[in-house]
Chains A and B, each alone.
Chain A
Amino acid sequence: MRYTPHTDADRRAMMATIGIADVAELFADVPAAYRFPQLNLPAPLTEMEIARELEALAEENTSMGQVACFLGAGAYNHFIPAVVDVVISRSEFYTAYTPYQPEISQGTLQAMFEYQSMVAALTGMDAANASHYDGATAVAEAVIMALHTHRPPRKKVLLSPVLHPQYRAVVRTYTQGMGLRILGDEQPDTDFHALAALCDEETAVVVVQNPDFLGQLHSPAEMRDLAAAVHAHGALLAVSVDPISLGLFTPPGAYGADIVTAEGQALGNSLSFGGPYLGIFAFRHDLVRRSSGRLVGETVDLDGACGYVLTLSTREQHIRRGKATSNICTNQGLNALAAAVYLAVMGKHGLRKVAELCWHKAHYAADRIAALPGYEILAPKPFFKEFVVRCPRPVAEINRFLLDEYGIIGGYDLSQDYPHLGQAMLLCVTEMNTADEIEDLVQALSEVTESHLIPLEVVF
C-alpha cells in the first residue's frame, strides 16, 4: 500500500528489534476466538479506479452548476471567492491537529483569534468561541450554557416556533436527559410578544431566530422589547442569526442578546450536502467562563512577544471531565478558518454588497411572484433573502415541475413543519441568482397555474 511504507525487509528488522517472528504475536491479548475476523469489504481500488468510480457517483447528483437554486432553509448557495479554498487547502492548516502545542501552532491560533474577533465585530458581541459543529448544535449549546448560569437551577426553556425546526429538534435531543420543560413552539403562530409573555422566573433562556426561519426580519425595536421582557425575569436571550444578513442589519449585540449563534456555512463554506459547516457562538463577556468550546486568547511569550494560546480550558472536558461546560472536543476549525478568510477578503464593503444583492434580488423575485395569479407572498414584516409563497398547487408537485421542465430547484416545502400556512414554500434568493433565473422561475410558476401539471400526473 502506498500509505504504509514498510518493505518486507523493514518489517523483519523491526520485528527483530521487538523480539518477535510474526506480527500476529503482537495481538496475543485479543481472545483467540475473535482474532483476525475476515471482513467482507469490496476489493481495494487504486487511485485511478476510485476516482473514476466516485466521479461517476458524483455525476448522479444534480449540483448547483447544473440548475438554478432557490432552496435555502438553513444552507445557502453563496459566492465563495477563490482565495478561500486556496487557504484551506494549505496542508499546514488542514493536516494539523487542535493547537495543543501553541509554539508550533501560531498559524491556527492567530487565525482563530482573528475569527473570534471578526465574529464579535459582526454580531456586536464581546467574544466568541472557535466554533461549534453547526447552527443547530450551537443553539443547543447556548441553551445548556444558559442553564449553567442559573442558581438555583431553572428548568424551563422557551423556543420560538420560527426557530429552524431542525435546531429545535436538536435542542430536544441534547437535553432529553436533563428534565427540562421546553415550550413556546407548540403553536406555530406564537410571535415574539406572545413568547415574552410565557417567560417567567422559571425560565432559563428564550431562543429566537432573526431573520426567522420564514425569512422575516424582526426590527431592533421589537428585539429590544423582547430582550427587556426576558431580562426582567432574569432569563437570557439567545438569538440565532444569518451571518450574511449582518452585513446590513442591526447586530444582536445592539439589541440586548446575551448569546448569539449562527450557521456559519454561508461564510465561505460549500453546501457539501449539509456538512461540514460551523456553528458560530458569541456571547457577553461576563458569560465567558460558562461558555463551551475552544477559546483562543492573546498572551505573550518569554520574550514578551505577542502570541496566542487555547485558554480557559478548565471549562473543558479534558480538564473538568464530568463537570465540564460541554463534552465538545473537536470543533469545525477548518470551516471557521474558511469563514475567517471569507470575512477578511469580503471585508466591510464586500459583505454589505452581498447582503444588498440578496435583499434586492429577493424582493424583486417576491414582487414578480406576487403579481402572478394564484400566488400570495406571506410576509407581513420586511424580509431579507427568504420569503414564504402560498401556492395554488402542492409544493412537491410544483417543485417536480420546476426541476423537470426548467432545471430549477424550488423552495423548501413548509407543509410538514408549518401546515397552518397551507400549500406554502420558502423561497431563497441570493446574489448567485441572476435576473434570468428569476425570470425563468416566474415563468415556470405562472405555467403551474395554467394546469401544465395535469399531464405529468397522468404519466405517473
Chain B
Amino acid sequence: MEPFLYDLSRPGRRGVDMPDPDVPLTPLPAEYLRDDLPLPEINETEVVRHYIRLSQKNYAVDKGFYPLGSCTMKYNPKINERMARLPGFAQIHPLQDPTTVQGAMQLMYELQQMLAEIAGLAAVSLQPAAGAHGELSGVLIMRAAQVARGQGHRHKILVPDSAHGTNPASTTMSGLTVVEIPSGADGNVDIDALKAQLDDRVVGLMITNPSTLGLFEQHIVEVCRLVHEAGGFVYGDGANLNAIMGIARPGELGIDVLHFNLHKTFSTPHGGGGPGSGPVGVTAELADFLPGPIVAQNESGEYVWKMPVRSIGRVKAFHGNFGMHVRAYTYIRMHGAEGLRRVSEDAVLNANYLQALLKQRGDYPIPYGHRFCMHEFVAQGRIAGAEGVHTLDIAKRLIDYGFHPPTIYFPLIVPEALMIEPTETETQETLDAFADALTAIAQEARTDPERLHTAPHTAPVRRLDEVRAARQPILARVPGRQPA
C-alpha cells in the first residue's frame, strides 16, 4: 500500500528551494491573502520515490500486451518523446510573433497536408485536443454547413447502434437530435433502416468504418451516396483509421468530415488518459467551416495563421496539442506511404491471426467470425460449460496471466463482448501466448470458476468495490477538512 501523498508531509520539509528576490520588495496586500495553503511539505527524495512506486503499480504498453479494442495501444516510439522535448518545440510561447516560430508552423502545416493526404480530404485543422473534441468540431461543421445552405431546420444526426458513446454525446452538445440506426445481421449498417430515416431533417450520419465490430462497412459507398442524396453529410469517426492507411481513403469513399486520433493511429502515447490530439479533416466544400486558426502559407512562402472564413470558431485556446503534433509528424515521416500501409496490413494481419487462433480453439464465440476482421474483432465471454463465468471474470483473470484485458462490454450490441485489438507492433509469439492464456482461462472456468470470480490474484490490489465508490463518493482528501 503506497501512502497517500499528504501522509508523507512533515511541517518544515522542502521539495524545492527557490531563490530570494533580486529586486526591491513591494508590500503584499493583506486583505487579498489566503489564510492557509494546505499543500503538502515533502522533500524531493520522498516525492520521487512516491511517484516511482506508484508508476510500478501501473500496467503499460512498455510492460506488455495491451489489446484494448478501439484504443490502438501500439508501441510509442521513443524518438517521438525526444523530438517533442527539443527546446525549439517545447520552449516556445503560443503567442510569439509568427516570424519567430516558422519551424513549428511549418511542421503543423506539413502535418495538416499529410493527414489530408492519408484521409483523401482537402483540409485539416489540428486544433481539437482529443477524438471527442474532433467529433464535436465535426458535428458543428456539418450543422454550420447546413445553416449556410439554408437548411437550418435540419436537426437529426443518424448514429449506428455500434457507435462509440462520444458520437451521440457530441451530437447532443451540438444541440442536435440523435437517431439510432440498427446494425444488420452481417454487422453492416441496416440499409433499409437508414433509408427510413433519410429525410429533409437529416444533418448527417456519423459512421465508424471499420466499425466497432471490427468490420469494414461493405456498403460504405452506397451509404454515403444515400446520405448525400438526402442532403446530409457523412461524418467518419477516425478512431479505427489504423486499419486502413494506404488501404482506402475515407474521403474517396464519400466521407465529408473525419477526425484523426493522433494518440491511436499515429503513435502518440495515451498518457494514462491523455493528452490526445484529434485533428479534424474535411472536403473542399467544408474547408471554410474548420475550427481555427489553422496554418496557411502566404505568397512569399511564409507560414501564417488563418481563420477559415466561415469557421465554427475556436474550439480550444491557442493551436491544439502541439507536442502531440510533433510526435505524430515524426511517426509519419519515419514511415512514409509504404510504411503506413505496412502498419495497417500488419494490424489487420495480427487481428485476423488471433481471431483464427480463437476460432480454431472454439472456447469463445466470435459472432462475426465468418468474416475477415479489420484491426480488431469482438469475441464473447460465454464459455460452454461455465455459464456462471462472465466477461468481467475472464478480463480480470487475464491480468494474472500478465496481459491487459481487452475492452469489455463494448460494443453494446454484442452481449458479454471482449473487443480485442492487438495492433501491428506485437510479435506472433505474443499473440500465441495471449491465445494460450485465453484457452487456459476457459479450462479454469469449467474446473475452478471461483478462481475467476475472485481474480485478479497477483495485482497490487484485489477486485475493487466500484458500487461503494459511486454511492459515497470520496473525490478528495485535504488535511483539516472532511473527505469530499
Contact = CB atoms under 8 A, between A and B. Distances in A.
Contact of B132 (A14, A46, A108, A327): A327
B313 A59 contact: no
Contacts of A278: 275
A119 to B, nearest CB: 8
A160 interface: no
A93 B165 contact: no
A136 B313 CA distance: 13
Contacts of A43: 336
B352 A26 contact: yes
Contacts of B183: none
Contact of B100 (A4, A62, A316, A352): A62
A331 B263 CA distance: 12
A65 B334 contact: no
A232 B430 CA distance: 63
B230 interface: no
B370 interface: no
Given A39-B118, A321-B165, A104 B404 contact: yes
A42 interface: yes
A303 to B, nearest CB: 5
Nearest to B312: A173
Contacts, number: 696
B279 to A, nearest CB: 12
Interface in B128-187: 129-133, 135-136, 140, 143-144, 164-166, 168-176, 178
A364 B26 contact: yes
Nearest to A37: B249
Interface in A266-287: 270-278, 285
B451 interface: no
A396 B21 CA distance: 31
B475 A116 contact: yes
A56 to B, nearest CB: 8
A360 B29 CA distance: 12
A306 interface: yes
A8 interface: no
A108 B272 CA distance: 6
B1 A305 contact: yes
A331 B176 CA distance: 24
Given A170-B315, A305-B461, A347-B39, A42 B336 contact: yes
Dominant secondary structure at the B interface: loop
Contact-residue bracket for chain B: 35 or more
B75 A3 contact: yes
A451 interface: no
B274 A333 contact: yes
Contact of B88 (A57, A116, A313): A57
B96 to A, nearest CB: 6
B376 interface: no
Interface stretch (B189-197, B320-328, B442-450): B320-328
B51 A341 contact: yes
A272 to B, nearest CB: 5
Given A30-B248, A92-B63, A173 B168 contact: no
B334 A333 contact: no
A108 to B, nearest CB: 4
A329 to B, nearest CB: 5
A330 B346 CA distance: 26
B14 A349 contact: yes
B169 A326 contact: yes
A90 B54 CA distance: 10
A219 B33 CA distance: 9
Contact of B372 (A25, A217, A364): A25
Nearest to B431: A14
Contacts of A208: none
B14 A136 contact: no
Contacts of A169: 313-314
B50 interface: yes
A275 B322 contact: yes
Nearest to B25: A360
B297 interface: no
A197 B330 CA distance: 53
Contact of A103 (B13, B319, B459): B459
A389 interface: no
A348 interface: yes
Given A62-B92, A107-B54, A167-B317, A353 B136 contact: no
Contact of A348 (B39, B44, B316): B39
Contact of A435 (B23, B91, B330, B459): B23
18 contacts: A17-B353, A57-B103, A87-B52, A92-B55, A98-B272, A107-B54, A120-B475, A137-B129, A166-B314, A176-B140, A177-B174, A177-B175, A247-B37, A275-B322, A297-B474, A347-B16, A352-B37, A360-B24
Closest 4 CB pairs of A and B: A177-B175, A58-B88, A274-B318, A274-B94
